[in-house]
Every structure is written in C-alpha cells, then in structure tokens.
Structure 1
Amino acid sequence: MKRECAEAAYKLIKNGMTIGLGGGRTIQYLIEFINMGNLDQIKVVTPSMSTALACKSHGITVIPTWLTSSLDIAFDGCDQVDESLNALKSGGAIHTQERIVAAMAKQYVLLVDSSKLVQKLTFDYPVAVEVVPEAFSYVKSQLEKMGAQVAWRTGSGKDGGVMTDQGNPVMDAAFNTVDDVAALNRRISDIPGVVDTSLFVGIAAKAIVAQPDGTVTVIDRP
C-alpha cells in the first residue's frame, strides 16, 4: 500500500520543483520514484536525516531548511489523520521541524494507509510536546491540570529522556478524550515554554490514502 501511495504522490511533482519530504517508508518509495522518473532539477528540503541520506544516495539535491522560505509542495506521513485532515505526528519527535516545512509549502500532503484514517482523532497516540528545558516542570504540571498523563519520552540505547536536535526535551501527553482538537492545540501551545506540539490542525491540504486493494483515495481539506 505504501508504494501505491508514493506513486500517487509522485504524480503531483513537476519539473524544477523544490519539495519538502518527511520520513518513513512511504517517503522512501517516493524518493525511488523521483529517482526513476523523468523529473529534472528537483530539490528537497527535509527534517529527516534518513530521508536526506536516501536523497543523497539517489543523486537528489538536498538543501538546508534555513536557506528556504517556500516550497512548491511537501509530503509526510502521520500516526493518525481524521476526515477533517487534523493529524497526530508524534512518532518521530521532529514535529517542530516538520511544521516549519509544512508551513513553507504551498500544498502540504499527508501520505497514509487506510488504517490511519479515522472519522475523528482517537488520541490512541499521545501528543508530543517539545519544551525548553527551563520550563520542563512547569509545562508538565500544566498538562496534568488539563487531564493528561505526562511522561518524558525515552528511547532505547540512550540514558535519560529524548532531546530534540535543538536540545529540548520531548514530553508525551496522553489524553483520554478530546472534544475540540483545535482548542486543545491552542491551550497547549499557549503554555509558556512550549515550543510546539505534534497536533497538526488546519495545515494539510489533502491526504492520499492507500487502500488494501491497491487503490488510493484522495481527501481534500473541507
């Protein structure tokens, strides 16, 4: 399914475009399609080291995010997306960089298989919250007051919790029920010391959804 999804995404790319790419297996397939296709002068911006290395191995030009102010289109996966194109992007802990890439894109497209599409976000995944170190305890207490179970994310092979490339800790805030996704994201983002969250609300222009039978469905923003 991931390959079919990537093939549908490839058809949206034109010669000379500067595109944003996230991480994950579907993006790896998309890189292969770009490499095998007839497109010229494609440049890539990505927050993912694995994606950057894959592009380099296929001879695709990668430019730093800080040198770019706009992108023609950007593609990324997510943990879950709803029919209104609200998405949770908690897994990679690079959501701040991913949001920057999404904001620069004229069109931001999510690539998912049908198992990740829900009518309304269920929050089976926690909301990842990046915070400046000095605000760690304060932000944790504020999230707990909002009803979340909060933990500093840990990773295998590392002593202590996960830190971003910018040196900021990442908290996982688990919510049981959320009635208003946009309101939740605003409340968390307004806490002093919060850098960003993994909730993407009102950002995606469309989602390309791969079905088990090999077909793809495109959902446009309402």
Structure 2
Amino acid sequence: MTVNVDPVVIMKQEVGKAAASRVKSDSIVGLGTGSTTAYAIEYLGERLRKGELKNIVGIPTSFQAEVLAKKYRIPLTSLDTVDRIDIAIDGADEVDPNKNLIKGGGAAHTREKVVDSLADLFIVVVDSGKLVDKLGSTFLLPVEVIPMAVAPVMRSLEKLGGKPELRMGVKKAGPVVTDQGNLVIDVKFDRIDDPACLEKTINNIPGVLENGLFIGVADIILVGEIKEDRPLVREII
C-alpha cells in the first residue's frame, strides 16, 4: 500500500530539524510555540536521546511547548534560575523584509517575546507563505489585554485606526484565555507603516500586557519552501 506523505508536513519537519541542528551542547534553549517549532522540539529530544546533544535545558514559551518538551524528555528550567538564553527557536505569523515579525496566532506572544528577546540567537522557522512585504498584510495583530480593560483598550485601538475584535475560542464557548489568564484582541490595520512606533504606542495603552509586533528581535529566518514537490530550507540573515 502506498502512503501519501504531505509535502507541507515534510517541509515543516525539515525546517524544524534545520533549526534544532544549530543547538549546541551546554546550551539554554528557548522553546517556541506552533506546528513548525513543535518539530524542532521533537528533533531536539531525538538529538538528546542519541547523545548528539548533552546538558541542554529548555525554557518553554507556552503550555504547549512545556508539554512537548516533557514528552521528548528535554529538561526544563525557568528565567528565575538562569542568567542567559543561548538560542531560541520560534515560529511567526508574518515576516517582513527587515525580519520584523507578527506573532501571536497561538496567543502565546507575551511569553514568546520575553524569551525570544533575551536569546543571544533567535531563529525563526516559517514557511514561505509567512513572508510579506508589509506587516499586517495577511494576519491580524494580536494584543494581550487584562480582562477588565477590554472595552477601553478596544476604543483606544480604534483611535489608532485599527478594527479590533475579541478573539473567541474554537470548540469552546467564550473568548480565548492566554496562559497568563488574559484575553486577546485581534486588530486589523489597513497598513502598518511604522511597526516599531506602533509596537510602543499599543504597549503604552493602559491594560495592554503585550502585542504581537516583534521588531528587531529576529536574527535568522529559516524558510521552508516546496519546489517541484521537494522540501527546501532557505536562510535569511
């Protein structure tokens, strides 16, 4: 019986492996969130099991990353016990030509920004469909907000030219709740001309914890592509 393997799945696996292969022994590793990063976590566990890697510890950016790390027997630690992060691997929902990102499709962008920003080397793993000319082209901007401030924050976002919507759960009644117990507002902007300025402006709105603009944080983008039904990994530095 012939088994058809989805080339997109293989491509994500290859990008995840390419990122995980850059991790060295004796490293503190930021473990990101998302389907492609999940393959990187799996491959890190495989490298540990085979003895290719020794003495690494992970810092998860979400409950999902924590569960996967435990599944693949990657030791975990926290920011309370370390003074550095050597390398972080994470996905993105959009990447612009300046390596700026929109993240937060998994509602984990606050913890992701903390971990990814602290890393000496931050590697982003994406497929080519995440590459855009301008941020906000295809993906709404997530904003994490404390529950009591949802209404005033939405009004403030409207004044900035955005169209905000509270993110609702799928297969769950009510809104999405983050790992911090907060809510997520997804905002549509017709254009984001100055993402660095918008990131700071939104974060200065009282009640906002963090938004999904990651400006000047990424070091390397690993892009998975499919050409002639073959998965390829391209590097953007």
Q: TM-score scaled to structure 2, two decimals?
A: 0.86
Question: Residues 53 and 163 (structure 1 numbering): CA distance in 2 closer, same or farther, change over 3 Å?
Answer: closer
User: 1:8 & 1:124 partners in 2: Cα distance?
Assistant: 26
User: 1:137 & 1:50 partners in 2: Cα distance?
Assistant: 29
Contact kept in structure 1, 2:14 and 2:224, CA below 8 Å:
yes
Contact kept in structure 1, 2:165 and 2:185, CA below 8 Å:
yes
Partner residue in 1 for 2:13: 3
| 1:185 match: secondary structure | helix
Partner residue in 1 for 2:45: 35
Partner residue in 1 for 2:232: 215
Contact kept in structure 2, 1:90 and 1:126, CA below 8 Å:
no
**Structure 2 counterpart of 1:216, one-letter code:** V
User: 2:128 & 2:226 partners in 1: Cα distance?
Assistant: 7
Question: Residues 105 and 53 (structure 1 numbering): CA distance in 2 closer, same or farther, change over 3 Å?
Answer: same
Partner residue in 2 for 1:204: 218
Which structure 1 residue ranges, 5 or more long, are not aligned?
Answer: none
User: 1:29 & 1:164 partners in 2: Cα distance?
Assistant: 23
Q: Does 2:209 correspond to 1:192?
A: no
Measured after TM superposition, the shift of residue 144 of structure 1 is 0.7
Partner residue in 2 for 1:98: 112
**Structure 2 counterpart of 1:218, one-letter code:** E
Partner residue in 2 for 1:21: 31
Which structure 2 residue ranges, 5 or more long, are not aligned?
Answer: 1-10
RMSD of aligned alpha carbons? 1.6
Measured after TM superposition, the shift of residue 167 of structure 1 is 2.3
| 1:53 match: secondary structure | helix
User: 2:26 & 2:199 partners in 1: Cα distance?
Assistant: 35
User: 1:138 & 1:179 partners in 2: Cα distance?
Assistant: 24
Question: Residues 62 and 141 (structure 1 numbering): CA distance in 2 closer, same or farther, change over 3 Å?
Answer: same
Give the stretch that moved more between structures: 103-112 or 152-161. Answer: 152-161
Aligned-pair identity (%): 38
Matches within 5 A, 1:142-181: 142-181=156-195
| 1:118 match: secondary structure | coil
Pick from 126, 139, 148 the counterpart of residue 153 of structure 2: 139
User: 1:122 & 1:157 partners in 2: Cα distance?
Assistant: 26
Question: Residues 165 and 6 (structure 1 numbering): CA distance in 2 closer, same or farther, change over 3 Å?
Answer: closer
Pick from 65, 81, 87 the counterpart of residue 101 of structure 2: 87
Output one character per residue of 1:83-141: Cα deviation in whole Å (capped at 9) or x when no partner: 10111112111111111111221111110111111232243211111122332222111
Pick from 14, 39, 47 the counterpart of residue 61 of structure 2: 47
| 2:120 match: secondary structure | coil
Output one character per residue of 1:142-172: Cα deviation in whole Å (capped at 9) or x when no partner: 1011111111111023332222232222111
The total of aligned residue pairs comes to 220
Measured after TM superposition, the shift of residue 176 of structure 1 is 1.4
User: 1:106 & 1:216 partners in 2: Cα distance?
Assistant: 22
Contact kept in structure 2, 1:123 and 1:174, CA below 8 Å:
no
Question: Residues 136 and 35 (structure 1 numbering): CA distance in 2 closer, same or farther, change over 3 Å?
Answer: closer
Contact kept in structure 1, 2:145 and 2:183, CA below 8 Å:
yes
Measured after TM superposition, the shift of residue 69 of structure 1 is 3.5
